[in-house]
A and B are shown apart, each in its own frame.
Chain A
Amino acid sequence: GESVGLHLPTLSVQEGDNSIINCAYSNSASDYFIWYKQESGKGPQFIIDIRSNMDKRQGQRVTVLLNKTVKHLSLQIAATQPGDSAVYFCAENMRGSQGNLIFGKGTKLSVKP
């Protein structure tokens, strides 16, 4: 079935470097995508979103890129900090699904000091 998945299960970066987390999706009916951060013992926390009619969106230290041609989503974190260590999920919202999100498996980001 259609699903959201991630290319890499783990990512280790040096503090201060930029991080890029990738996600592939297969549902062309999705109208927007969300990146969540989940720290140990906590629920997913909203980071940034992007609608399907956009290619790029920037937040504070984060940028999300959407390539609809190859159905690829990425999250870029600038100047990665130890507090960024967590599991990151992309999620898609299918148009008309009444807000029920489809999550990928997640990428664990580890930041080395």
Chain B
Amino acid sequence: ETGVTQSPTHLIKTRGQQVTLRCSSQSGHNTVSWYQQALGQGPQFIFQYYREEENGRGNFPPRFSGLQFPNYSSELNVNALELDDSALYLCASRGGGTGGPVLEQYFGPGTRLTVT
């Protein structure tokens, strides 16, 4: 196990609702990235947080937002849910700041979000 935990494990929401997913980083890791993994696809980078600020973002609309807390835990918030938001949401943590080696990036088990 990596030490990265995510909650909840599974979640079902209705289109138009809002959702908050949570991630607890591995001890000592100060950078967290969030990925969306649609069924049968590879993970797609959403954004990265370091020192409580977003410092990198993939091709996702503003209704995907996040937070990082002083203890390095993180949240992913999605507003106005759409059916296509149904996916596995993964967070990954690493140390060393934004220049830290990606090789030491550890993924959590993910949150399976279903939008109906």
A binds B: yes
Name A's B-contacting residues (CB within 8 A).
Answer: 4, 32, 34, 41-46, 49, 89, 91, 93, 97-106
- 16 further A-B contacts with Cβ under 8 Å, apart from A43-B90, A46-B103, A98-B55, are A42-B109, A43-B2, A43-B92, A43-B110, A45-B107, A46-B105, A89-B43, A97-B56, A98-B56, A99-B94, A99-B98, A99-B101, A99-B102, A100-B33, A101-B102, A103-B42
Instruction: For the complex formed, measure the closest distance between the CB of B33 and the CB atoms of chain A, giving whole angstroms.
Output: 7
A45 surroundings in chain B (CB, below 8 A) = 2, 107
Q: How many residues of B contact A (CB 8 A)?
A: 30
Indicate whether B68 reaches chain A with its CB closer than 8 angstroms.
no
Name B's A-contacting residues (CB within 8 A).
Answer: 2, 4, 31, 33, 35, 40-45, 48, 55-56, 58, 90, 92, 94, 98-103, 105-110
Tell me which of B4, B98, B106 contacts A98 (CB under 8 A).
Answer: B98
